[in-house]
Structure 1
Amino acid sequence: MSDEFGSAGIRERVLASWAAAAVRFREDANAEEDLALGGYLDRVVVELAQNAADAAVRAGVPGRVRFSLRDGTLVVANTGTPLSAAGVESLATLRASAKRDDAESAVGRFGVGFAAVLAVTDEPVILSRTGGVRFSRADTAAAVGALGSPGLDTEVRRRDGHVPVLRLPFSAEGEPPEGFDTAVILPLRDEAASELVRRLLDEADDALLLALPGLERIEIEVDGEERVLADVLSRWTVQRAAGTFDENDRERLLADRPIEERSRPHWSVLWALPRSADAEIPRTVHAPTPTDEPLSLPALLLATFPLDAARRHVAKGPLTDHLVHEAARAYAELLQHHSETGMNVLPLVPTGLAAGALDRALRDAILAELPHTPLLRQAENRPESFGTPLDASPSSRSNEPPETPADLPSQPWAGDLPDTRTAALAEVGVDGPAATEIGDLPDPRADEPAGPWADVPTTTEAGDLPDARPDAPLDTWADVPAGSSAGTAVEGPIGRPAAGLLRPRDAVVVEGADDTFTTVLATMVPGLVRSRRQDRLALDALGVRRLDLAELIDQIGAVAESRLPEWWRETYGALSAMVTEPLLREALGTLPVPLADGRLVRGVRGLLLPGPDLPDDVLATFGEYGVRVVHPDAVHETLERLGALPATPRTLLEDSAVRAAVENSTDADDPATIAAAVLGVVAVDPAQAEGLWWLSDLVLRDADGEWVPANALVIPGSVAEAVLDPDEVAPIERDLLEHYGTDALEAVGVLSSLGTVSAADVSLDELPEALADLDGIEDWADDVAPEGSRYGVAVGELVAVRDLDWITDDAWPRVLELFGTSPELRRALVDQARVVGPDDRAYGVPSYAAWWIRERVLLEDGEPLAGRADPEAEPVLASLLDAAPEWTAQLDPEVRTAVGFVRTVADLDADGVGLLLDRLADPGREIGESAILRLWQRLGALTVYPDSAPDRVRVLGDPTTHSAEPMDAVPSYESAAQVAPAVAGTDEGIALGVGSGDAVPISGGSGGEGAGAGSASGEFGESRDDAHRRHEEHHAHDRHDRHDGHEGHRAHDVHRDDSTYDGSDVGYDGSDGYAGSGAVEVLSRVVAAGEAVVADAPMWLQREDLGGFVVASGVVADGLSDLFEVPMAGEVAAGKIDGIGTEAEVPPIVRELVPQVPDTWWEHEELTVDGYEVSWWVDDDGAPHAATFNGLAKALAWSAGRWDQRHVILAVLSDPARASELRVDATFDTPLSD
């Protein structure tokens, strides 16, 4: 086998050096391992492509490389200078590149790149047109072993047999594929190596072509699937800059670099932007091949940065600082070129946070250049393509135009590899290497520091940069020269303005201005550029000055008078989209606006926009009164959105200038002109004047030719003229009536009937001006305010009838009839006003009209109209109160109630209650007990009280008629045992002993649930325990604290408990010896208040020693006690039972019919309470006590809370034979269940 490259000599020299000093062997092995498993672990594709590019450059031919992965073998074929003896020596010598003399054009610089193949193979082969060479781990190990050197053998053992692979070359035979000059054949070590190569081939992209300009085409085939990278400039826009260092530059910038690097005085920078918006940009710096330095800029950067030994990170130093500065200048020129072609370059401006220290330095340098670079297009010079994706050809300054390289067909090279690795190598005449397998390699970078930039902070904000290049060094980039470009290939100075472009430092944007408005402003604001919301950060980073919208509007005001109304209309139209922004609307509201009368005003809100509703001559009339109407030629819908109002009758009448003219019309020099103008507007649509109460101040002529306010004028022949005092009102002039009509005149306050005035959200402590003329309105507010304080009290809506004080005395029958027939007046009278107090509680109070009539209207007898008995009043009230006049019977019932007529007790106000109590206390009036019992029920439910309680109180009649029962009414029995149930011991159940021991069989058991329960909604269902507890809780408070409102209003629970005892057993039934239905009714009587008590339980009616009784229960009893200021019976007597009595069982039939009764009761021969004899009682524990049958029935019913069942209990106790009848009857007390 021939040895064209002298590989045998190289092996002899290397082996001799190892044999002479084993330490040399160890040094070579460690260095190679560091490269293969460290910095070059995953760079095999990049390094082989780089070698191919350098070969093409040296040969001066278009570079082409093909990567083919098949059956575990990677073959890399390329065009260019073939392998030479110097090249073989370089491959076998670490860090001694054969490309040193090609420093300007070669990319590879260290002579170690080929070591990257050791990450995937142990048997690399290189075949060229000039010969072949191979390297082999196995053959190297054999050669070392053949030396017989104990030192080497020991070192090999220590390294587990691993030896340097690339130090001993061996000759190889074979040819590269046809069309290529060299082929590198890599039998892959294992599946992990295959996966790594697949990944690296898949990651190969345009960046590789851009980094290696010597290559025009990269072909990649993986298991038969091919893809080609070519024509890269058709997909990328490229900006290049390059130069050569002079002697001074070398001394200053390269002093800290290795000797061989100092001999390479050339530098280059390339920025690439994808033409497609969907293209992915590598986010790392390329130097020129990929490094681990992160890059956040939206472009690909390739530059000749110096690298550390691992070729992973950029080395710090003056050379790097210089290249950062040159990269920044190139980036600025790239953006300028794109802007000149009409592209929007703001998305390319660095914003946000840096990704690393080098990225931060690049961003800082770029942001120092860009403010001085013409980039921004003035607003008035906008190309059609503004804002479109970048799509421009390269610039003239080293911007390479797209080229279509010569078509290089993909040709099969000599002998495609067969299916097996060994056969593939044999095809090209190379012996197959031994298939040495190794395990998964550890990541050699796991313990590696983050790189030379690890200690540099990376959080500089782009917006923090000054507008110009700083005088101080940029952080760690200490030696970056401010303007060094000596020896560079860059032509043309940066910073000289290009046609139509502005330097950012000379530009201005208007805060919030959209594109349309910016176009309008372009001729007015020098240096104005367009700004989108998403461009804000970029513009701030460039140092573009921001002009506040309010400041801009102030500047517009300086030239406003020179602009025609039509120009203003176009300007307002340009603002149409901006008025939707809340933050901008306030500033826009201060725009200048031309008016129809020739004035120019600042501010839009409240201006009137002319429209079809009002003729121009009407609007012109109001101009002299200060009404501001927009010039018709300047009208645009934007003005309305900013607060201007369409000129309708309503908006014109609401204008403050119109109101001022109306209110001052009395003193006007020409009131007729004002009257004509206002009436002319109102006549267009009288309904639009509703609620504008101040229009009634407009002075008009009356029938005598005098100028009188409209609110003191009436329509001739109207109701108003008939019922109002002629000394207060006058008829309006006939000519005005005929010209404008009744509707227009009424709209400004002239009366044809009674008028109303309304106000919303009325605060009683500060009544609105609209209500000021109402007679007595302040007194009404005082009366309806809770607790007499108007502070914090409000009425949601108040509608008041005006001029009530002008109604003549004899007109009230007609007026009250009018209230019933006019819906508007009826609502103003009948509907209560809803008052909300400081505590947010709401309640209804009499309307102003109802209050005024009750307080101020007197009849012929000099007494108030209010407080009289309604024609339909309850008889007891009719007997106690003065009767209303006969003519009131024809009035609307609700009108009668509103003006103070009393139909029920609930219609009484505080004064009416006081009057009624006084009439009740008159002993000369005869009132039966049935009437007084009903009246007490209603009085106890009142929530208003008079100022003072009466001295005398009406109570039940003769107390001798109220004894619960005659003591001999019970059938004779000798002991409790006779009335107590006894178990007979038979299947028929138990028997109740009655009389002299007769036993009456009763069906046993307590009955089913609810059997005989009767109606739970009976009138007196409250239990005695509940009543007692409630009374004690209620009367624990000071009785004198019951009043909490003005004129008797109080905060009191008005819930009526109709299920409680109300004295209905008084007057009931013949079995008690009391008057039956055919008896003459007992009259009530009057006693001093100190001799009366309220009986809130029926057992107290037996206590004649307590005085006269006012009878009710529950909250009604509480109310009566408060109303009359008399105590409850339980407050004046302890109600303590004397003695113990004998416990007895309640008969089962009673418990069946009334399940709520207790199981036992207490029998007394003689029952006394507080020393007073009674027939029954229920003690504080709810236990029933009785001395009679009737008493037992009542005691059981009251203790069970079922007072309504006392008669049922009495019936079954008196006649047990009725048990079946009563049980069947009880079935109907509650609805049958399904």
Structure 2
Amino acid sequence: MAEPLATGVDPYDTAELRRRVLAAWADAPARFREDANAEEDFALGGYRDRVVVELAQNAADAARRAGVPGRLLLSLDGHRLVAANTGAPLTAQGVESLATLRASTKRDGTEAGRFGVGFSAVAALGDDVTVDSAGAAVRFSADLARAAVAELLSGGDPSGLGAEVERRGGHVPMLRLPFPAEAAPDGARDDTVRGYDTVVSLTLRDDDARDRVRALLAGTGEALLLALPGLAEVRVLVDGAERVATRQEDGGEPVTTLREAEGTRTTRWRTLVRTGEFDPALLADRPTEERARTAWSLTWAVPVDDDGGPAPLPEDVDPVVHAPTPTDTGLDLPAVLIGTFPLGSDRRAVQPGPATDLLLTEAAEAYCALLRRFGAEAALELVPGTRVGGGHVDAGFRARVAGPLRTTPFLATETGAPVAPDEAVLLDTGGTALSAVLAELIPGLLPGRLNPRHPALAALRVHRIGAADIADLLADTDRPPSWWAGLYAALSAGADTDELGALPVPLADGRLVRGPRSLLVPEEDGASRIDAEALAALGVRLVHPEAVHPLLLRLGAVEAGPAAVLADARTEAAVRGSLDADDPEPLAEAVLDLVAASGTTAADAPWLAELALRDDEDGYSVAAELLVPGAPLAEVLSEDAPFGTVHADLVERHGTDVLRAVGALWEFTLVRAEDAALGGDVLDVFEEAPDALDEWADELLERVGDPELPPVVPELLCVADLDYVADDRWPRALEMLSRGALRAAVTDPARVLMPDGRVVDATSYTAWWLRTRALVGGSAPAELRAAEAEPALAGLYDEAPADIDPEFARALGVRTTLEELLADPDGPDDLLARLADPERHVDRPGLLRIWTALAGVDADLVTPPSRVRAVLGGSIVVADAEDAVVVDSPDLLPLLAERPLVLAAAPEDLAEVLDLELASETVEGDVPAGGVLRQVPAVADLFLDPEGEQPDRTYLHHAELVVDGVEVEWYAGGGVVHASTDEGLARALCWRTEQWGRRHLLAAALRDPDAAPLLLAEADLEQ
């Protein structure tokens, strides 16, 4: 077989290589097709953009074989790409490897390029490549390859190879056919490549190939040096612009430097290496030659800053798996993973399988070990964050590293001890000050300087504790008070006070209690004002002075001023139980001092009246049952009043005002209750209810109609102890009650809130009680009238003393007007009782005024009288109610000459109120037959109001009118007017038209119709 045209010697015996390939193609065109397809797959597919990486791997392997630092030059000038490297030269076996797809001579597994196909990447970019190494050269050329095949076919084509070549458009796999080339002597080489052992020259196919190479070279730098430790330098020249990446060792760790026109960048790396042997079973799914390489290795590399902490990856280092050069398999970590991962035939992606699973497990354990080589805080930056998506390698690594990371002690506690995340504790609040205080109490507590929101801490699921958890953890902690003050200071720096409600607090008495709310904090200047023994007697919870901090006040504690101590619930409880104490004296002294200092009184804190005080018999009684010596109240009390007197020593030490402030009696006591419901037992609104309070409530309920829901008195104000006033001391007692706050309890009405929202004013309890129980001149106030009272009351009620002012007298129930008297729940019955008393006097106008007013009273509020004041034969008499009748029509008066008559403007209403008969119900009204039907004289129309009731037009005239055997002038019973005289007819017409006042005028007109004009004129003058 003739050789195609080629130049140069043939030290690699390329002729034999070509002969074997061409023979194989001639014998089996399918082999030609397979080789052509493989070269296209590698060159145009999987290796299309890996020319730089593949050339770099070859350079690293050459340097390793030669045992020298590898240097690589990558130069692009126009359409010519040159890759020059130092190291072992290309051998005949190497040429055979380049020309034989999938049959690398690198079988020991120690070299980066081990698949024998990487060189095919050059075919993706050009059709002519020459390798010049150590005085020998080999060339791969598409033109030469086609010529060799053409020459082969010129000798005949029995197998049909030519048809296969034609089917491929004349394309021949050029890398399967090496040709000898003339090597350039070292001295004759271009200055750019002088000093390099091997030079690969590639003529780029077109502008597109040149642009792709330019882009690949732009991303070439430190990553190659890190992935290929056999390389110490990579120089990149692009159209005269140079960029140089170098690698050296410092303390066993790599340092890479990138120099370019924009400046120089140096990256220090921290690495961790793991090696081992695969169990052959794990490689069962790998190609045959790969199964023979059982050694594996892993390297983690992390860039570090000047402080030794993790730094960001250089921009030209992609977050992918390196095997050992970059793959397309993503690994989104702040570290570079380089390992002997199984790759696909295109060497782009890590292949899943048992070997990959093992390496990922080893990588996870190694990564945890790598984190321990950093400071705890720096290591957090390397913790993989949560991620959605990612490839199978990224997801597999994260799944495998999650558990070991939680059990690896790469963190450090506040005290500096190593701790694994699953045993660590993180404060959610408080910062460094709080963690320093709690470090000795909480094992595994991380430093407070850590950012509690760091995503790594969340990814590691570090146990967190907040302010509420801290409060619970410290519940039984035994520490000196000053330690607690330090804790509060630390918590105040940023803890959420809403979660500190149960924070323990040491007390002055040695106890540790939960929760600052309502605790008393000693005032800075208040120690001298509040005696510690006094506070102990009160049983209040006082914070230990050495534990005081403003945080406690923010959490609800209060400064232990006198008012605050008095407001404490324990002070109240102590006072309420003081009478049962073994020795009430210290407690009484403490409370009296606090009252004097604070100005608090029993009006502010009613329970102060329960303070046990020493009395003048050296016993003890509550303040509300003791009189202050010289008290005005003592002047009005009866001998059986159950009050003692405060011991004189207490008066001397504390003064009258302080004793009065705690409820010791000076004058009458005002007691208050809020929102007192009148339904049920109203006595429950007071611990000791005033006398007859329930009776007042019952009467009030009856007055307002006793609704289904109980009315409420928003503020019930009562004067207590009125039932202990001596009968002969009431003038003085009323004088006391008429002044100051006591007066309002008498004069101000009780406001009652009804269920329907209405507000009703009612007589106050105190006024109600005084009306019938107090004595004024020997009589109850309700039995008296004011001097200026309504005349109708003059003879029925005695006049009250003139020295009682009118407003106060009115509130006491002293009668002033008939209207007010009848508005009093007891008023109507009292008035009727006085009317039935023959000793009482009332004139005829007054009686008519009273009966008319009584007609307007609700009958349900009146007790029907047994005797009534009535008119009999022109005189006012007291008669039996069963004999009296209420006159409801004046035509009946002649028929009732023997009956006591009750006269009123509303007779039906009055009869119902008094339960009396009406006159019309007692007479038969028998009129004998007869009478002449007559027209009512027309003159009557002149005197009767046309807008009122229309008068009768006819009537029955009787010469003599007799009704029930009695001769009368008129009668209107039965709806018919009977009259025997003009006066009778006038009365009948005016009564029927409700114009009774015109009866005399009409009678005159009927007697003398001609006088009508004069009578009308006189009537006009009356108007």
* TM-score in terms of structure 1 length: 0.55
Matches within 5 A, 1:136-147: 136-137=141-142, 140=145, 144=149, 147=153
Between the aligned partners of 1:690 and 1:110, the Cα distance in structure 2 is: 101
Structure in which a larger fraction of residues adopt strand: 2
Q: Which residue of 2 aligns with 1:243?
A: 275
Is 1:850 matched with 2:857?
no
Q: Which residue of 2 aligns with 1:634?
A: 547
Is 1:680 matched with 2:593?
yes
Return 5+ residue gaps in structure 2 as ranges. 1-6, 248-253, 256-265, 836-843, 865-903, 913-944, 953-992, 994-1023
Distance 1:668 1:327, change over 3 A: closer
Shift of residue 685, structure 1, vs aligned partner: 1.5
Distance 1:916 1:828, change over 3 A: closer
Q: Which residue of 1 aligns with 2:653?
A: 739
Between the aligned partners of 1:131 and 1:1106, the Cα distance in structure 2 is: 156
Question: Is residue 125–residue 172 contact of structure 1 (8 Å, CA) maintained in 2?
Answer: no
Matches within 5 A, 1:526-675: 529-530=446-447, 534=452, 560=478, 563-577=479-493, 580=496, 582-583=498-499, 585-586=500-501, 588-589=502-503, 591=504, 593=506, 595-599=507-511, 604-611=516-523, 612-615=525-528, 618-624=531-537, 626-675=539-588
Between the aligned partners of 2:120 and 2:822, the Cα distance in structure 1 is: 113
Partner residue of 2:739 out of 801, 818, 831 = 818
Shift of residue 696, structure 1, vs aligned partner: 0.5
Q: Deviations over 1:597-639 (max 9, x none)?
A: 4455566554433333353872223425533333333334444
Between the aligned partners of 1:229 and 1:686, the Cα distance in structure 2 is: 86
Question: 2:573 aligns to what SS in structure 1?
Answer: helix
Q: Which residue of 1 aligns with 2:1014?
A: none
Partner residue of 2:312 out of 279, 285, 295 = 279
Between the aligned partners of 2:797 and 2:211, the Cα distance in structure 1 is: 114
Partner residue of 1:519 out of 424, 433, 436 = 436
Q: Which residue of 2 aligns with 1:215?
A: 231
Which letter does structure 2 place at the counterpart of 1:375? F
Partner residue of 2:113 out of 108, 114, 129 = 108
Shift of residue 1085, structure 1, vs aligned partner: 5.1
Is 1:773 matched with 2:698?
no
Q: Which residue of 2 aligns with 1:62?
A: 69
Which letter does structure 2 place at the counterpart of 1:214? G
Between the aligned partners of 2:70 and 2:812, the Cα distance in structure 1 is: 108
Distance 1:688 1:857, change over 3 A: closer
Is 1:293 matched with 2:329?
yes
Shift of residue 335, structure 1, vs aligned partner: 1.9
Between the aligned partners of 2:814 and 2:13, the Cα distance in structure 1 is: 134
Q: Which residue of 2 aligns with 1:1143?
A: none
Between the aligned partners of 2:97 and 2:311, the Cα distance in structure 1 is: 43
Distance 1:97 1:343, change over 3 A: same
Question: Is residue 239–residue 330 contact of structure 1 (8 Å, CA) maintained in 2?
Answer: no
Q: Deviations over 1:259-298 (max 9, x none)?
A: 3224434321111223256614844322222334343544
Is 1:329 matched with 2:329?
no
Question: 1:239 aligns to what SS in structure 2?
Answer: strand
Question: Is residue 37–residue 119 contact of structure 1 (8 Å, CA) maintained in 2?
Answer: yes
Between the aligned partners of 2:171 and 2:823, the Cα distance in structure 1 is: 116
Is 1:308 matched with 2:344?
yes
Question: Is residue 11–residue 167 contact of structure 1 (8 Å, CA) maintained in 2?
Answer: yes
Partner residue of 1:53 out of 36, 48, 60 = 60
Which letter does structure 2 place at the counterpart of 1:270? T
Between the aligned partners of 2:115 and 2:787, the Cα distance in structure 1 is: 120
Which letter does structure 2 place at the counterpart of 1:47? E
Between the aligned partners of 1:694 and 1:36, the Cα distance in structure 2 is: 101
Matches within 5 A, 1:795-944: 798=715, 800-803=717-720, 805=722, 809-810=730-731, 814=735, 817-819=738-740, 822=741, 826=744, 830=748, 844=759, 846=761, 850-854=764-768, 857-858=771-772
Between the aligned partners of 2:733 and 2:286, the Cα distance in structure 1 is: 116
Q: Which residue of 1 aligns with 2:980?
A: none
- How much identity, in percent, do the aligned residues show? 38
Which letter does structure 2 place at the counterpart of 1:520? V
Shift of residue 793, structure 1, vs aligned partner: 7.9
Distance 1:306 1:505, change over 3 A: same
Shift of residue 669, structure 1, vs aligned partner: 3.7
Question: 1:107 aligns to what SS in structure 2?
Answer: coil
Which letter does structure 1 place at the counterpart of 2:623? A
Distance 1:1105 1:803, change over 3 A: farther
Question: Is residue 576–residue 611 contact of structure 2 (8 Å, CA) maintained in 1?
Answer: yes
Between the aligned partners of 2:353 and 2:600, the Cα distance in structure 1 is: 86
Shift of residue 107, structure 1, vs aligned partner: 1.0
Question: Is residue 694–residue 770 contact of structure 1 (8 Å, CA) maintained in 2?
Answer: no
Q: Deviations over 1:137-173 (max 9, x none)?
A: 5665565566466945544554466553533445477
Between the aligned partners of 1:761 and 1:668, the Cα distance in structure 2 is: 33
Between the aligned partners of 2:473 and 2:527, the Cα distance in structure 1 is: 35
Distance 1:828 1:609, change over 3 A: farther
Between the aligned partners of 1:813 and 1:325, the Cα distance in structure 2 is: 100
Question: 1:216 aligns to what SS in structure 2?
Answer: strand
Q: Which residue of 2 aligns with 1:375?
A: 410
Between the aligned partners of 2:784 and 2:134, the Cα distance in structure 1 is: 132
Q: Deviations over 1:639-674 (max 9, x none)?
A: 444554432223322344433332233343433332
Output the aligned Cα RMSD: 5.7
Question: Is residue 508–residue 545 contact of structure 1 (8 Å, CA) maintained in 2?
Answer: yes
Q: Which residue of 2 aligns with 1:463?
A: none
Q: Which has the higher contact order (CA 8 A, sep 6+)?
A: 1
Matches within 5 A, 1:950-969: none
Is 1:748 matched with 2:662?
yes
Name which one, 1 or 2, has greater alpha-carbon Rg: 2
Which letter does structure 2 place at the counterpart of 1:709? V
Question: Is residue 99–residue 177 contact of structure 2 (8 Å, CA) maintained in 1?
Answer: yes
Question: Is residue 693–residue 765 contact of structure 2 (8 Å, CA) maintained in 1?
Answer: no
Question: Is residue 854–residue 900 contact of structure 1 (8 Å, CA) maintained in 2?
Answer: no
Question: 2:232 aligns to what SS in structure 1?
Answer: strand
Q: Which residue of 2 aligns with 1:965?
A: none
Q: Deviations over 1:788-820 (max 9, x none)?
A: 57979877x64634427459554676466425x
Which letter does structure 1 place at the counterpart of 2:100? T
Shift of residue 244, structure 1, vs aligned partner: 5.2
Q: Which residue of 2 aligns with 1:178?
A: 193
Question: 2:600 aligns to what SS in structure 1?
Answer: helix
Q: Which residue of 2 aligns with 1:264?
A: 293
Between the aligned partners of 2:863 and 2:402, the Cα distance in structure 1 is: 95
Question: 2:609 aligns to what SS in structure 1?
Answer: helix
Which letter does structure 1 place at the counterpart of 2:193? E
Q: Deviations over 1:88-123 (max 9, x none)?
A: 43333212224335x31x211112223334445455
Partner residue of 1:1086 out of 895, 903, 906 = 906
Which letter does structure 2 place at the counterpart of 1:271? W
Q: Deviations over 1:1189-1226 (max 9, x none)?
A: xxxxxxxxxxxxxxxxxxxxxxxxxxxxxxxxxxxxxx
Question: 1:749 aligns to what SS in structure 2?
Answer: coil
Q: Which residue of 1 aligns with 2:922?
A: none
Between the aligned partners of 1:306 and 1:870, the Cα distance in structure 2 is: 123
Which letter does structure 2 place at the counterpart of 1:596? A
Question: Is residue 604–residue 643 contact of structure 1 (8 Å, CA) maintained in 2?
Answer: yes
Which letter does structure 2 place at the counterpart of 1:362? F
Which letter does structure 2 place at the counterpart of 1:501? P
Distance 1:691 1:205, change over 3 A: farther
Matches within 5 A, 1:317-466: 317-339=353-375, 343-350=377-384, 352=386, 355-370=390-405, 373-380=408-415, 382=416
Is 1:697 matched with 2:697?
no
Q: Which residue of 2 aligns with 1:475?
A: none
Distance 1:42 1:692, change over 3 A: farther
Which letter does structure 2 place at the counterpart of 1:662? V
Between the aligned partners of 1:868 and 1:14, the Cα distance in structure 2 is: 147
Question: Is residue 35–residue 41 contact of structure 1 (8 Å, CA) maintained in 2?
Answer: yes
